[in-house]
Structure 1
Amino acid sequence: MAPKTWKQTSEEERRHIINLYLQGKSYRVIAEQTGRCPGTCVNVVRDYERNRAVKTERKRSLRPRKVTQTVLQFIEYQKWKKPSIFCREIRQKLLDEHVCTVNNVPSVKRISHVLKYELNFSHKKLTVMPAETLRPGHEQRVDAFLATLLNYNYTQIHFFDEASIIATSGNRSYGHAHKSKRAIEVQQYASSVTLTVNVCCDFFGINHFNILNGASNALEMVEFFNEALVEKNEIGNPMFNRGDVIIMDNCGFHHQRQGERLLKELLANRGVDLVFQPPYSPEFNVTECVFGLMRQRLQRNEKFVSQFPELAIVNALDYSVFKRAMPSFFRRCGYK
């Protein structure tokens, strides 16, 4: 292989490179116009600056900087107010609210660059907060709820809730596919294979649960507690004692006129109180953690769930597993 031969840069070529640089041309453009490599152009400019002890000043673009401080603050405010807003929607808002004109509005790509490198925003999963929790009076309801619970020891508190399970889906929400391709999975879909799991739990584990075909209702809820109140623990003591309290959410049929009345009478006969948690506040119900762990256990064996859904749910709600997990669930919800 023949050795490379280096062509010396003439004085005329050097002047031409310097003139192009002073006109604001990039090193890539200068290299294309002069036929020299970009490294040579860089060295010529640096040598010119060093020998003459002056800093060459390039001509600045006459185009104004599109992302001004006002635009930057507007982009930050829009993302703070609604983190899920798209860059193209921010660009449209810049025009609609007359922050920018058509001539100086930044591009979608530029807005994305600003979010990542100038505002240090990152893309992450949303934590959704119901708008109803911001209504006047919600904080007072939460304070009243927490004040009511101060009358009970954490061992006296029981939680009740329902969850739906689709027996044919494996209860999986995520899967893999090639980049830019959707993850599509063929599954049987029928309302008849939707099950409802009712669960009541306390600090020591699951008190009682049952499985219904289809949706639950007020009468099913009353019948559930009619069975739960006679349950006994592993040493033969009643699961529910006088002075205990049951906490549930504000599902529609929980407040059904006859259903709520019958349930309160049934619990009052056993000396058990009923308290409804604040609206749109699932974080106060430990049963949500129970259902989360139950679904994780169901996802491990999709075939078993589709063939024997009831048995799979019973296996997922294994008493020994939740007996160990329940103290951490109580701490997560702030009860201990």
Structure 2
Amino acid sequence: MQSHKRGFDTQFSVRQKIVELYLNGPSCRQIAQQTGMSKSTANNICTKLITSGDVSAGKHGRKHGNRTCLTDNILQHIEFYKRRQPTIYLREIQSKLRQDNVCLDVPSSSTVYRGLVHRLHMTRKKLKSVAAESTTDINEQRMLDFIDTISDFGPEQLHWFDEASVICTTGNWRYGHAEIGKPATEIQWFASNVNYTINLLTSIFGVEYSDIIVGPSNAMEMMNFFFEAVNVEDHVGNRCLTPGDCVIMDNLWFSSRQDCRT
């Protein structure tokens, strides 16, 4: 256990050790116990890592000055930056606020940090990786175009179609485990030897129409499904699909704005 004198910089090797422990998940109290530092010292070093990405010793003393208040506009931009890139440093957020002309006086890193914690209620979490191709400019533009298109429809006009295939055993695997008295089943993205295919048409009101076909689905089966769906009526006589509705499918969408031939 090492001791630390008040007013003296913590050795760089100790600072590195604190950072390594912090990135592995322990709390500042646990880090302090393992390194022999005070809880405040461990907390200050970890906070500096979060705010600036730097673990070197800084100058003692505190500069006093006017603080920039976090207006709703500034806070909305901070939330956008963090949601778009959770790993962005606070000093990078300050730089973006300046570049995007969000405010004349950029708030301090501590002010931004307090806004993240106390107003946006964001906490540090383990990062999950997302496929990079899903965030390319062309895919993001397609997503924005899709959202812009379906926003022209009312919520009651939107319908979703999907299908699920069911098979007892899959591929080369002939055996699997299941509860006693129940068959072993698996769900696949696609299988040509499926036993059944379940088709579902849903909306904000729930499942509107469904059917089960023997074997895998195909284009003709899908067209038959919609031919039957357009003739379905609810308990008060309203049709499931009407002219002008929009049907959203996996990887594609089409509307019946011209007629009801979906």
TM category, shorter = 0.3 to 0.5
Q: Decide which structure has greater helix share.
A: 1
Could you state the TM-score of these two structures normalised by the residue count of structure 2?
A: 0.43
Which structure ranks higher in relative contact order (CA pairs < 8 Å, sequence separation ≥ 6)?
Answer: 1
Q: Which has the larger radius of gyration?
A: 1
Could you state the TM-score of these two structures normalised by the residue count of structure 1?
A: 0.35
